[in-house]
Structure 1
Amino acid sequence: MGYLSRSIFLLFFILTVTACSQPVDSNATPEGFTLIESVTKTQDDNGDPVLPYTKYKLDNGLTVLLHQDSSDPIVHVDVTYHVGSAREEVGKSGFAHFFEHMMFQGSKHVADEQHFRIISEAGGSLNGTTNSDRTNYYQTVPANQLEKVLWLESDRMGFLLEAVTQQKFEVQRDTVKNERAQRYDNAPYGLLYERVSEALYPVGHPYSWPTIGYVEDLDRVNVNDLKAFFLRWYGPNNATLTIGGDIDVEQTLAWVNKYFGPISAGPEVNNTPKTLVTLPETRYISMEDRVHLPLIYLSFPTVYGRHADEAPLDLLAEILGGGKNSLFYQHLVKQGYAVQAGVSHPCQELACSFNLYALANPEKMPSLTDLEKVLRDAIADFERRGVTEDDLKKVQVQFEASTIFGLQSVSGKVSTLAFNETFAESPNQIARDLERYRAVTKEDVERVYKKYIKDKPAVVMSIVPHGQGQLIAAPDNFSLPERQLPEYPELDESQLSMRLVTETFDRYQVPEAGPSPVVKVPESWHSALTNGIEVVGSQVDETPTVTLLLSIEGGPLLDPKDKAGLASFTAAMLNESTTQRSAEEMALALELLGSRISARASGRFTEIAVSSLSENLDATLALLEEKLFSPKFDQADFDRLKTQALQSLAQANKDPGALASRAQLQLLYGDQRIGLPDRGTLASVQSITLDDVKAFYANHYSSAEAQLVVVGDMDRKAWLPKLQFLADWKGESVTFPSYQEFPDYLEPTIYIVDLPGAAQSAIRVVRRAMPYDATGDYFKAGLMNFPLGGAFNSRINMNLREEKGFTYGARSSFSGGKTLGRFVVSTSVRKDVTGAALTEILRELANYSANGVTKEELTFLRQSVSQSEALSYETPSQKAGFLRQMQTYGLTKDFATSQGHIVAEVSKQELDTLAQQWLSPDDMQILIVGDAQQILPQLTAMGLPIEGIALAP
């Protein structure tokens, strides 16, 4: 049996195990519904896999998909509206995303900000996302909270506009602007896709503007424009409601009909015609940005989603730029011309693009003109190389493996069904998609290369550091025409045709939750190998997959200060060549198995993570053994990784978030190893040699410090023989160096890292705090912080984001390890409100430390934290993380039960005492990364000492 057929067999197995749908009698379909189809089998007539579901239509056009999965006591609800930025009008960009924000601002029967609060209080998680083609809203909650979610979602579908006010509109407009500033304008390379799309698509094409929108468009419109957008696109007939998890079908349908049935349909929605995009000639565009590494990006227009040529183009992208065996890696990265390089073929509903990029290594290839030549040589080499059997096989296996791993959670299953229904008008696409990729031939790949890529026009984007315009690939030959905006009449609310909803019950009444589900922590077994390595395992039969975490205590904290980054570098070298295989050969072996092995170092630990299909576990563990015990430590690998690391660190010095994280460590811990990032600094990494790496591996990769967690569809008896290759591993215990004295601050001071031109200011308010404990003050401090900055509805976030519109988000948290901990308030705000935002943060801290938590907040945190346990152990990776936590801190199996008792019983007085002890502004230090010239006048007015902070080189 070959790799392909084995993987398909495994996919059949997963669907057989997890699919619990019951046959639905069409004669018993509830009133108000039409049963479209009921799919209960786990494979089709050709032997291909199927994800079971039932599909209904409500009389108002709402599509309803149900999938039963009783493996965990949770449900996932997704409402997908077939509207994204592609359905916006010219000059009104950003509406779809704007409305995603507005949908969380309350509706007629749900008070302001209560959607987040209710879901959080129910122990759930929620979010919404917008892209060019759809907007979705989703919640994962304990199974007893399903009715409450349906009430919330139906209320904002049917009754949102009654609660939309000018004030909410203005606050969310500011929030969206902050999001754009943080993710686009203030991020290195943040405007890349916006600029490329403007050049790639014709003026007025639905993909020619960014989903986030243009600021001038957001400023131009009013609240009635937004209401009109909702009325046009947010009808039930343009939505798919997908519910999966531990559900009762009959009861779920009754609730859906009760809450969604009375909502009348919106205007008819037809699919947008799909036409291929072409370019008349290659368009060169460029920009200067706050970056260190010059970037070149080529984008070719191709097809559209689910076009017959999508799959072979995906495979071509993998051959050219996917992994260490790709032509881009061989021509660009391995030769040292680029620090990174890759190829992708993202597809949207109306258009796809074939994208190639390379981040230049300035030491070897500063000019993007030369880099473009090397890049195009790599493309041309495809014609000489052609397509190999391994190319086809690895892509097919990886596609099938990713399908299996994607079905480990109920959210993954629901998302798959919702996506397929929205864009293929049928949820039943898994087998069809597998067949699409299975059917690709060598000839198909070569054909699409010639049809869409070879000698075809592209958009070529150059992004270079400020003041280095001479590095661009070629002079710009394209500029976006001046925007011609239609004259839209100003809308008055009286012109809006409001949708009426017949209220047949009291919608103000919040549905009661059902009986709390019984939540059990993962069952586990404990053992030890003959050399003392502790093994903790858990058997999970839902999917034929395994997860393995090998942790070695002695990570970056063992680095000499002047060689900070050595542990991270050593772990990176384990991902390269072995004495038996080159890095490329190892990568291919893993790809053909659909497996992953990756090593990384962080804090006290080096960790090697393994994921595999169960059937391929033996072969994967053999590769793990080779990587762990036979690293080659090749000089060429070392030189390449060192160059990449140095260039990456130089780039991080342009990023506000990275600078804030780095400066925060220095502020808290001073001039010692723990005061530096895990991956080191430019100076420390520059000093690392290959001999240092070899010595670190020899001295610190020790079985005496190793622990193992395994989760998969095997029991202890099956696991232990497979792990015996680790039993011969030897090594001595390591000793961590003592910490030096930490900085002693006499008063709160504002420390500034100057980043000229920054559109936002990154703010951190910090102090040292207690290390981790599972049931003591650390755990209780986390509870105490929940109402302050740990939840979306926390005081800090509501103040800065929802009330003031200063930021996209703000939070606070306690974090701790075995020996140290810290408290941090973090946010990024508009530079013009830096002082005002900092004043509000300090005011919130002062108020909370003085007065503590309210009774209502205490009730909120009790319910939120206790109910959320149902979501904590669903996936194999979640189970592995839970077991790893137990193992790291020596916790007993009942620690989660003890935490539950604390949540239920902790007193207001205990929490208030912790707030007084840890949250006084007088004990905090303040760090701001931003444009000093712009923010200094605001900060000076606060009357606090201000100093610059010089980061370690």
Structure 2
Amino acid sequence: MLQKIGLSIVLTASVIGAAEAQTKLVEKVTKKGDELVIPYEKYKLANGLTLIVHEDHSDPVVHVDVTYHVGSAREEVGKSGFAHFFEHMMFQGSDNVADEEHFKIVSDAGGTLNGTTNRDRTNYFETVPSNQLETALWLEADRMGFLLDAVTQQKFEVQRETVKNERGQNYDNRPYGLVYEKTSENLYPFGHPYSWTTIGYIEDLNRVNVNDLKNFFLRWYGPNNATVTVGGDVNPADVVKLVEKYFGSIPAGPAVNDMKPMPVKLEKDRYISYEDNVRFPMLRMTYPTPEAGHKDEAALGVLAEILGQGRNSIFYKNFVKNQKAMSASAFNSTSELAGEFGISVMAFPNTSLAQTEELLRQSIAEFETRGVTDEDLQRFKASAESGLVNRMASVSGKVSQLAAYETFRNNPNYLQEEIRRINAVTKADVQRVYNQYIKGKSAVILSVVPKGKSELIAKADNYKVDTSKSVAQPQDYSNLKYTKAVDSFDRSKRPTAGQAKAVSVPNYYTAKFKNGLEVIGTKSDEIPTVTLQLTIAGGHRLSAANPGKAGISSLTAALLNEDTENYSSEQFSSELDKLGSSIRIGSGTEDTYIMVSTLKKNLDKTLALLEERMFRPKFAQDDFERLKKQQLEGIANQSTQPTAIATGVYNKLLYGENHIMAIPTSGTTESVSSITLDDVKQFYKANFSPSVTDLVVVGDISEKEIMGKLDFLKKWEKKNVTIPADVKTPAIAKTKIYFVDKPDAAQSEIRIGYVAMPYDATGEYYKTASLMNFALGGAFNSRINLNLREDKGYTYGARSGFGGSKFAGPFTASAGVRADATAASVVEFMKEINDFRAKGITEAELQFMKNSIGQSDARKYETPGQKAVFLGRILEYDLKKDYVAKQTQILNTITKKEIDALAAKHLPSDKMHIVVVGDKKTVLPELQKLNYELVELDTNGNPVGTSSVK
């Protein structure tokens, strides 16, 4: 319920020489009954800052979000990437927060943090224990009001390299990574705010100087262009006082006006293309549509679902089911100024995209005869309701929603309007938007083809961006002045934390059925949903006895998502969608998992579908042939991906030629080719058993109620399943570099490590993997990441970790790095590992680790997913109820001496594999100068030459 309030409340001002600042309570929204609403109070400070507070005492955590209404759309031609660049700079310290301290302070407080940039806004956020609220607000206010003097040329240069690394990793070096950039350039006229992407162009990043960046900040990052949203275990009056204290004295920036929508219209189809390091030709067709919040947005969402989402879509039937493509999809994506109706088809190798386009146009036209059904609308509305409910699972989800609605709708309570619009969509609306935006309309049609296969493009390029005409609206960066707040308190003093609240692990119940299936569950009534997670032990490891059939676990799981005895896969999917539920089966290294999510009101119908899916699979021959073909294509595609090559070669070296872990979970071309449908049926029959299955239940349901609904699992027939024992891995005599050539790779992939030990919750693994490694490579402020990313600018991120399960898993240090910094990165990785092994942890690092891990418990059990992971681990490893308390005791009492001993024991830097995948002509000469023996391998891990080097 919305209450409009015009009351002014006077709070203690912190501004010297100014009249007491007034903060106005603008409105208060409360929840009535079962309505879907996020309660909040909205305030306006005298300097224009908007404050929204959501009170939720269900967990002792608080989420702080600061959203600035500035994204890449506020940039200028030739100066792209500023908003995103500034996202990086905002973590580099301010007047009262030292370089790298923002991450460190939040981590030290037991919190987590990040920032994101899109076309229309930039946001920064922290989730911390609720007693650390003041610290989070102090940090955010310091970078809003006291940033620019801390922006040095050196920091600027390092972050410029980091952003370029991010572009290399996520755009230039990623398959299809330039699709969005190419589409944007050619869909929007030159100078349109959406004609470039948030990452920006390398040439613009090279051109920009530190003063350009400072001016961008002064223009857009004032409190009057920001919304601070605080949610969680808080008292609104306390939040208002703290926000007034830390933000109230920051002077307003220049006035910022909302941008007006700038939709585009194309006069004819624009064909464009480029060659990429890919296996599958891809066709991307993009139609211009209206902006977010437009009355047609929901109807276009329904149209996208009918055309290209899920198994009941036209594209699925015509492309995927008929084996004309790997995948085909459609989405209507909206932003503040314009929207895009995007259609993507991933064709099979050597397919002419002209044929793909022809079938695509026929499929679009098929909508005219198919039309819109009541079921279409029911599926869309049920899925939308379920999605909105699940956004409420965490404080961060609710806060993010409030912040977005306020920024773009000036109404944090827009959720009610969104629900109204979704429910109001009619068949006629969907037909109308099809005619208005798609039928007979022009699009940007992009072909992405493998290198050297230009003959596969849909049609010759017929459009080139006209850079002589620009629709850019110049931004005014004149007369900008940096004025700092004047306060009556000392901002340099970090706030002291409040009294920490005790964090209790979820209460849970357990049961064991006569057939061996074990159950663990907990009641959680914050949102009206139920989550079930079935874990069937075995997975890929079951193929250890028969590696010639490796990949069968993945193929079996995929087939279980297809037809059943009583439903086609399309009918099954439709039934789920009408409930807003999901049932997903997948397979991993050591298990097959079944994930079930449903609204509480639809649990019974969802469980009936789960029973059908688990126990009455059809295993149809046509489904098998299609999925086997897709799996084989996926395996072939791995050889084009540097990350997959690096991981595959690394695993082969770690485990040895014949070990099941040396084979990817998808299998090999040879192994999957040999699998028959009878093999799958036998694998299912022999290995799907309650005797090796755990069930986790989390949600708005009691133990008694859920147990009364699980008879179908109690009747599940028990089988004798043997999980193969682990096989000893080959010893590493000495550290060597293994190099794999990936011609012209802009980045190199590095993996360093050895096979370490299995998981345990309170023994040496916990002490080593969770505690010892934290300072080395387990946190943002770890030695490895600070060195390679923050100090050197070699990478977008570097890390190390231990991967043990019931079986011994590897210690791995890894990163994707700049090609020209490959050898230097290897040197820095090994220097950090060697130093930590030899000298151990510092007292400061030890205390930071204890604080960070010890106070993070408040964030561990908030969402249904987090609770499910926690409970699942208890069953999987047969843990006692007090294991968390024992971990806490170990954490609190572990000493530097113990950590140092663990480092010396578990970081055998003289007996590790170093795998590097990169461009030979750029990388190899520098690697050969390092003091390691170097072995060249092909992409399958087979030697192609050996050379001893100094």
Using the size of structure 1 for normalisation, the TM-score is 0.95
Offset at residue 675 of structure 1 (A): 1.0
The 1:521–1:25 alpha-carbon spacing in structure 2 relative to 1, beyond 3 Å, is farther
2:835 counterpart letter in structure 1? N
Counterpart position of 2:496: 512
The 1:517–1:483 alpha-carbon spacing in structure 2 relative to 1, beyond 3 Å, is farther
Alpha carbons 1:342, 1:358 under 8 Å: kept: yes
Counterpart position of 1:658: 644
The 1:487–1:885 alpha-carbon spacing in structure 2 relative to 1, beyond 3 Å, is closer
Q: Please state whether the residue corresponding to 2:777 is helix, strand or coil.
A: helix
2:58 to 47, 60, 71: 71
1:284 counterpart letter in structure 2? Y
Per-residue CA shift, 1:49-102, capped at 9, x if unaligned?
332111001100000000000000000000000000000011000000000000
1:38 to 27, 41, 48: 27
Counterpart position of 2:147: 160
Matching of residue 250 in structure 1 with residue 240 in structure 2: no
Counterpart position of 2:758: 771
Aligned runs of 1:418-497 on 2, under 5 Å? 418-481=403-466, 496-497=480-481
Q: Please state whether the residue corresponding to 1:722 is helix, strand or coil.
A: coil
Offset at residue 379 of structure 1 (A): 0.3
Counterpart position of 1:383: 368
2:174 to 161, 178, 187: 187
Alpha carbons 2:8, 2:24 under 8 Å: kept: no
Matching of residue 55 in structure 1 with residue 42 in structure 2: yes
Aligned runs of 1:381-420 on 2, under 5 Å? 381-420=366-405
Q: For 1:611 and 1:51, locate their aligned partners in 2 and report how far apart those are by CA, in whole Å.
A: 22
Offset at residue 496 of structure 1 (A): 4.9
Counterpart position of 1:946: 934
Offset at residue 23 of structure 1 (A): 12
1:276 to 246, 263, 268: 263
Alpha carbons 1:107, 1:159 under 8 Å: kept: yes
1:911 to 872, 896, 899: 899
Alpha carbons 1:90, 1:486 under 8 Å: kept: no
Counterpart position of 1:6: none
Alpha carbons 2:36, 2:389 under 8 Å: kept: no
Offset at residue 22 of structure 1 (A): 12
Offset at residue 483 of structure 1 (A): 7.5
Alpha carbons 1:33, 1:56 under 8 Å: kept: no
Aligned runs of 1:190-201 on 2, under 5 Å? 190-201=177-188
2:542 counterpart letter in structure 1? L
Q: For 2:36 and 2:703, locate their aligned partners in 1 and report how far apart those are by CA, in whole Å.
A: 30
1:902 to 887, 890, 893: 890
Q: For 2:620 and 2:757, locate their aligned partners in 1 and report how far apart those are by CA, in whole Å.
A: 42
The 1:388–1:121 alpha-carbon spacing in structure 2 relative to 1, beyond 3 Å, is same
Decide which moves more: 711-720 or 69-78: 711-720
Alpha carbons 1:666, 1:951 under 8 Å: kept: no
The 1:487–1:43 alpha-carbon spacing in structure 2 relative to 1, beyond 3 Å, is closer
Offset at residue 48 of structure 1 (A): 5.6
Alpha carbons 1:529, 1:724 under 8 Å: kept: no
Alpha carbons 2:92, 2:102 under 8 Å: kept: yes
2:811 to 816, 819, 823: 823
Counterpart position of 1:301: 288
Alpha carbons 1:244, 1:410 under 8 Å: kept: yes
Per-residue CA shift, 1:812-836, capped at 9, x if unaligned?
1111110212100010111001001
The 1:409–1:254 alpha-carbon spacing in structure 2 relative to 1, beyond 3 Å, is same
Q: Please state whether the residue corresponding to 1:922 is helix, strand or coil.
A: coil
Q: Please state whether the residue corresponding to 1:129 is helix, strand or coil.
A: strand
Q: Please state whether the residue corresponding to 2:914 is helix, strand or coil.
A: strand
Alpha carbons 1:266, 1:499 under 8 Å: kept: no
Aligned runs of 1:565-576 on 2, under 5 Å? 565-576=551-562
2:635 to 642, 649, 652: 649
2:527 to 543, 546, 554: 543
Counterpart position of 2:948: none
1:306 counterpart letter in structure 2? G
Q: Please state whether the residue corresponding to 1:120 is helix, strand or coil.
A: helix
Alpha carbons 2:192, 2:471 under 8 Å: kept: no
Decide which moves more: 558-567 or 582-591: 558-567
Q: For 1:665 and 1:454, locate their aligned partners in 2 and report how far apart those are by CA, in whole Å.
A: 50
Q: For 2:304 and 2:744, locate their aligned partners in 1 and report how far apart those are by CA, in whole Å.
A: 36
Offset at residue 25 of structure 1 (A): 10
Alpha carbons 1:91, 1:485 under 8 Å: kept: no
Counterpart position of 2:221: 234
Alpha carbons 2:192, 2:472 under 8 Å: kept: no
Counterpart position of 1:847: 835
Q: For 2:647 and 2:3, locate their aligned partners in 1 and report how far apart those are by CA, in whole Å.
A: 51
1:498 to 472, 478, 482: 482
Q: For 2:856 and 2:424, locate their aligned partners in 1 and report how far apart those are by CA, in whole Å.
A: 44
Offset at residue 201 of structure 1 (A): 0.2
Offset at residue 43 of structure 1 (A): 4.8
Per-residue CA shift, 1:197-230, capped at 9, x if unaligned?
1000000000001110000001111000000000
C-alpha RMSD of the superposition: 2.0
Offset at residue 437 of structure 1 (A): 1.1
Q: For 1:878 and 1:487, locate their aligned partners in 2 and report how far apart those are by CA, in whole Å.
A: 46
Alpha carbons 2:189, 2:471 under 8 Å: kept: no
Alpha carbons 2:72, 2:197 under 8 Å: kept: yes
Alpha carbons 1:232, 1:267 under 8 Å: kept: yes
Q: For 1:683 and 1:454, locate their aligned partners in 2 and report how far apart those are by CA, in whole Å.
A: 45
Alpha carbons 2:833, 2:909 under 8 Å: kept: yes
Matching of residue 719 in structure 1 with residue 700 in structure 2: no
Give runs of ≥4 in structure 1 deviating > 6 Å: 21-25, 483-489
Matching of residue 127 in structure 1 with residue 111 in structure 2: no
Counterpart position of 2:540: 556
2:805 counterpart letter in structure 1? G
Decide which moves more: 31-40 or 170-179: 31-40
Using the size of structure 2 for normalisation, the TM-score is 0.95
Counterpart position of 2:912: 924
Per-residue CA shift, 1:235-268, capped at 9, x if unaligned?
0000000000000112111110110011000000
Q: For 2:894 and 2:423, locate their aligned partners in 1 and report how far apart those are by CA, in whole Å.
A: 57
Q: For 1:682 and 1:285, locate their aligned partners in 2 and report how far apart those are by CA, in whole Å.
A: 34
Offset at residue 470 of structure 1 (A): 0.2
Per-residue CA shift, 1:332-376, capped at 9, x if unaligned?
1111011011000010000000000100023xx711000111111
Per-residue CA shift, 1:90-142, capped at 9, x if unaligned?
10000000000000000000000000000000000000000000000000000
Q: For 2:738 and 2:469, locate their aligned partners in 1 and report how far apart those are by CA, in whole Å.
A: 46
Alpha carbons 2:68, 2:226 under 8 Å: kept: yes
The 1:918–1:626 alpha-carbon spacing in structure 2 relative to 1, beyond 3 Å, is same
Aligned runs of 1:607-646 on 2, under 5 Å? 607-646=593-632
Q: For 1:528 and 1:737, locate their aligned partners in 2 and report how far apart those are by CA, in whole Å.
A: 24
Q: For 1:546 and 1:620, locate their aligned partners in 2 and report how far apart those are by CA, in whole Å.
A: 10
Alpha carbons 2:190, 2:469 under 8 Å: kept: no
Offset at residue 683 of structure 1 (A): 2.4
Counterpart position of 1:587: 573
Q: How many residues align?
A: 928
* Residue ranges of structure 1 left out of the alignment (5+ in a row): 1-14, 16-20
Q: For 1:745 and 1:877, locate their aligned partners in 2 and report how far apart those are by CA, in whole Å.
A: 39
Per-residue CA shift, 1:712-747, capped at 9, x if unaligned?
111111111101111111132322334444223221
Alpha carbons 1:231, 1:499 under 8 Å: kept: no
Alpha carbons 1:301, 1:352 under 8 Å: kept: yes
Alpha carbons 1:408, 1:875 under 8 Å: kept: yes
Per-residue CA shift, 1:285-338, capped at 9, x if unaligned?
000000000000000001111111111111100110110000000011111011
Per-residue CA shift, 1:849-900, capped at 9, x if unaligned?
0000000000000000000010000001100110000100000111000000
Q: For 1:239 and 1:576, locate their aligned partners in 2 and report how far apart those are by CA, in whole Å.
A: 48
